[in-house]
Structures are given as structure tokens and as C-alpha cells.
Amino acid sequence: MKIVITEHQFNIISEQKPDYLIDKQSNSIMNATGIRPDKEYKLVDSMINDARNIKRSNQPLHYKMAIKFLLMDKSPLTTEDLSSKNIDTLQDVLCNKSKLQKTCDTNKWIGQNREKIPNKNQLLYEDFTVNYPKSPSYKKTSYTYTDQPMGVQELMLTIGNSTVRSSGSNWVITDEYDFKNIGEQKKYLKTNSLFGIIKNEFKGLWKVVKSLVRLRTPAEGFEEMLSQHHNMGYNGFKTRLVIPVGNCPCKTK
């Protein structure tokens, strides 16, 4: 026997429970109604359970932040969420860009990247790749995420192109972690219907499963799944990372 639940009933449930339990219950409903098969239900349930203690997880940063988003956590991503390796890598990337720009003052950075985005107060994908000597893509004409070392890849997939400003002896990176651009690129993913949301989530999950079976990156499927949270009114969370200038040679220039 299949269970039928109306949008009104789902909204009442959502108002009464914390985000973690809402995700658990939504997953159970999709399984009970036959929309999400047992195999996919167990996979999502395991992801939700494993995600409850994000800060202690040894998973790459972009995995942890995707799970944070999945749980509709509204708390900001801060430097405390980063590993010491994440901080060292960001410091090195920012120092390298500052040396190329001949100043640590991000307000004085000049020029633009290949996409015509100004360098002023911006940390861009190219700063992690074609302009970064420790990247396999250094001085090349193109790059991919998968070509980058995991330490670089996880930062690119977490903060992307972001704003950075000098503040005393620190660089402060700010950004919005969301998947709104996916909905803009793929208009068919936008819906006000609960069952439209569930349908899109299932399609995204199915893409993830197929990609994993074929040993391909599951990023597209995950992005489509996570973009559905915006259809439920969730806007993501803010990023504010304070990275010390440290001993970067640009400090005195």
C-alpha cells in the first residue's frame, strides 16, 4: 500500500521539526510512496546520519559543505570549519596572487581574468589553477577541477569565485554558498510543487548513482539535487574566512 501526503500536511510536519528530522522524514516519505527505491533511500539516509558532526569529519571540505547544505544549515562557513591544510593552501594562493599583483592590498589589484572578471577584491578560479605554480594547470590555457590536487580542488568547489578584501594583517574572503545558478541554467528544475521537487531530487540522485557506477564525477547530479532546496525557500549559507597574510613577501610592498 502506498502512502499519500498532501503539500499542506508536509508543510505542517516541516514547521514542527528541526531540519535534520525534516530531511530524515522527507527521505522516508519518498521511500514509502515508492518514489525513492530502498537502495537510494539507504544511501541518502546514511549521508544524513553521517553529516551530523560536520566539523569532525575527515571528508574533503566540499563534501562537508554539500552535506551542510543538504541539512539546510544556515550557520556561516568560517575559518573554524577549515583544516590547517585548507588555511595554508588559501594563504599560499592569496600570497601568490598578491606577489603577481605586487601588493597585498586587494583593493589595488588590477586587470581581469579571461572571463573579463576584474581582479580587484576577487579570488578567482584562475588563481588556483593557471596562475598558481603548484597547480598541474599552471601556465596552461585551460583547466579542470579533477586535474587539481584535492587540497586545491576542495577549496575551488567550496568558495569558487569569491570576494576578498584586505583587513589589517588578514585577507577576508566572503561568499554565498548556494546552487541558485543551477536553477538559472536549468529552468526546468524550478518548481513550486512538492512532488515536482521530489521528482527533481530523484532524477538528480539517479544521475549520481549512474555516474558512480560509470566511475565518473557525480557533481552534476548532486548539484541538481541540492538546487531543489531553493524551491523550498532555503537560501544557503554565508562564507566568511579570515586568512592571515603571515610572512607573505608582499606585506611590506
**Which residues, including other chains, have CB under 8 Å from residue 248's CB and lie 6 or more apart?**
91, 94, 95, 98, 99, 104
Residue matched to cell numbers 590536487: 149
**Main-chain phi, psi angles of 142, to 5 degrees:** -150, 170
Instruction: Return per-residue pLDDT of the chain as tens, 253 residues.
Output: 444 444 444 344 344 444 556 666 777 777 777 767 777 777 777 666 655 555 555 788 988 898 889 888 999 999 999 999 999 999 999 999 999 999 999 999 999 998 899 999 999 999 999 999 999 999 999 998 888 999 999 999 999 899 999 999 999 999 999 999 898 999 999 998 888 988 988 888 888 888 778 877 777 888 898 899 999 999 999 999 999 999 898 865 5
Q: Which residues pair with 93 in a beta bridge?
A: none
For the chain, the 3-state helix, strand and coil shares in percent, each to the nearest 5, are 55, 10, 35
Smallest CA-to-CA distance from 238 within 43, 11, 65 is with 65
- Asked if residue 132 lies in contact with residue 93, where contact means CB atoms within 8 angstroms, the answer is yes
Helix (H, G, I), strand (E, B) or coil at 170: strand
Smallest CA-to-CA distance from 134 within 103, 198, 90, 74 is with 90
